[in-house]
């Protein structure tokens, strides 16, 4: 049995890709007999400082910040926040020193107060990129320095090593939910009739933000709505573009379980690996957009890219769907379902265990 501590900005019940990644990984580690703890920020003041969630010990640092209306104090606010984080981490030094594995998810700077005591067992996962293009030299240098300080690193996506300077020990993409993988495909139509019609249901999964190419998504959905006025559109997420999305369809806000909405969809629009994998586990046709070389590489180097439509121009995406027949869509559904069967969280867990050189999961 290994004592494993994760450091991540947020954890359950906060909703997000890293949170899902950690939750699924921890389930498998617990099944292996490991003891798992998560250090994270307090995202909701109503949450306790410490609690047990599904046998995982969660310890939250208070979300404290220095407040001032003066612009000069913006810099002091950042310094104050870092000091609070480092003070909290230092107060947990005994737990960190006693741990067998410390797995950091992006926030490597947290570990500096105790780094000299734990460097030999500290690993790092980069869960993507900074979201700003072009990527600055400072951002690349910062990530490279952190990668060199960690014992070993994982990249979530092959694209990272193309745009940053560090080379990972291994690359992962995440996994599809087991509950979705276990479902059978519904009966497929084998006709040359067009796949898209007025009764079609299009679902967007993700944050309604620029990082998810929401402007292109909206343009695409508007074009689809013009061609098929009765088409159903839903946005499963929330963000700065909520108002614009509500003009086109229903906005659900953030939901932890997206399965219900995926089942309803004929086409899923998604720009993140986990949402894409869950959709593909159900044999769904997935569309994704990019507006810069980083996002293009993110999508096109994804292991399931060959089963998707990936475009930068919304009008080209419309053409793809308008030409698609039920026979072609059914063929894609079968292929993508078979592919998704191999994308499991068990495989992701084995990669982490290999990284840490701990025993494999018990049979």
- Per-residue confidence at 360, pLDDT binned at 50, 70, 90? very low
Architecture in CATH of 3-175+345-356: 3-Layer(aba) Sandwich (3.40)
Dihedral of alpha carbons 86, 87, 91, 93, sign: positive
| 65 confidence band (pLDDT: 50, 70, 90) | low
Mean pLDDT, residues 87-105: 98
Q: Could you tell me if 203 and 268 are in contact, meaning their C-beta atoms sit under 8 angstroms apart?
A: yes
Burial of 81 (0-12, 13-18, 19+ CB in 10 A): middle
Q: Check for a shared fold between 3-175+345-356 and 178-340.
A: yes
Q: What is the pLDDT of residue 70?
A: 52
Residue of 353, 343, 222, 216 lying closest to 289 (CA atoms): 216
| CATH 3.30.1600.10 at 178-340, yes or no | no
Q: How many CA atoms lie within 13 A of 66 on its CB side?
A: 17
Output the pTM of the full model.
0.92
Angle at 355 between CA 353 and CA 357, to 5 degrees: 65
- Map out the domains of the chain as residue ranges: 3-175+345-356, 178-340
**Contact present, 106 and 339 (Cβ < 8 Å):** no
Give mean pLDDT, residues 173-181. Answer: 95
pLDDT of residue 60: 97
β-strands 232-236, 201-205 pairing: parallel
Q: What pLDDT, on a 0 to 100 scale, did the predictor assign at position 187?
A: 81
Q: Kindly state the average pLDDT of the residues 189-195.
A: 90
Residue 363: pLDDT over 70 = no
Q: Mean pLDDT of all residues in the chain?
A: 93
Cα→Cα distances 182→70, 83, 172, 178, 325, Å: 56, 47, 22, 6, 26
Q: Is the pLDDT of residue 26 over 70?
A: yes
């Amino acid at each position: 049995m290994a004592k494993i501590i994760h450091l991540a900005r947020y954890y359950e019940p906060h909703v997000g890709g890293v949170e899902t990644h950690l939750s699924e990984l921890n389930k498998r580690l617990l099944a292996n007999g490991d003891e798992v703890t998560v250090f994270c920020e307090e995202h909701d003041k109503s949450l306790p400082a410490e609690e047990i969630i599904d046998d995982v010990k969660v310890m939250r640092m208070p979300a404290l910040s220095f407040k001032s209306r003066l612009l000069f104090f913006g810099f002091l606010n950042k310094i104050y926040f870092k000091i609070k984080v480092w003070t909290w981490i230092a107060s947990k030094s005994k737990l960190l020193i006693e741990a067998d594995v410390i797995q950091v998810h992006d926030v490597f700077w947290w570990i500096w107060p105790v780094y000299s005591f734990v460097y030999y067992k500290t690993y790092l996962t980069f869960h993507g990129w900074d979201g700003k293009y072009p990527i600055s030299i400072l951002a690349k240098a910062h990530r490279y320095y952190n990668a060199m300080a960690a014992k070993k690193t994982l990249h979530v996506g092959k694209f990272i090593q193309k745009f940053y300077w560090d080379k990972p020990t291994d690359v992962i993409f995440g996994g599809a939910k087991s509950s979705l993988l276990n479902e059978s495909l519904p009966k497929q139509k084998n006709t040359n009739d067009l796949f898209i019609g007025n009764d079609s249901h299009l679902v967007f999964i993700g944050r309604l933000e620029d990082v998810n190419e929401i402007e292109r998504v909206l343009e695409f959905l508007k074009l689809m709505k013009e061609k098929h006025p009765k088409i159903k559109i839903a946005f499963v997420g929330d963000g700065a573009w909520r108002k614009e999305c509500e003009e086109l369809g229903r906005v659900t806000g953030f939901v932890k379980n997206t399965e219900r909405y995926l089942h309803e969809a004929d086409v899923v629009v998604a720009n993140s690996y986990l949402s894409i994998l869950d959709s593909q586990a159900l044999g769904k046709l997935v569309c994704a957009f990019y507006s810069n070389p980083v996002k293009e590489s993110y999508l096109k180097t994804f292991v399931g890219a060959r089963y998707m439509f990936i475009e930068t121009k919304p009008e080209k995406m419309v053409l793809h769907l308008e030409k698609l027949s039920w026979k072609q869509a059914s063929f894609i559904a079968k292929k993508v379902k078979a592919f998704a069967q191999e994308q499991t969280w068990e495989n992701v867990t084995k990669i982490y265990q290999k990284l840490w050189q701990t025993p494999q999961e018990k049979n």
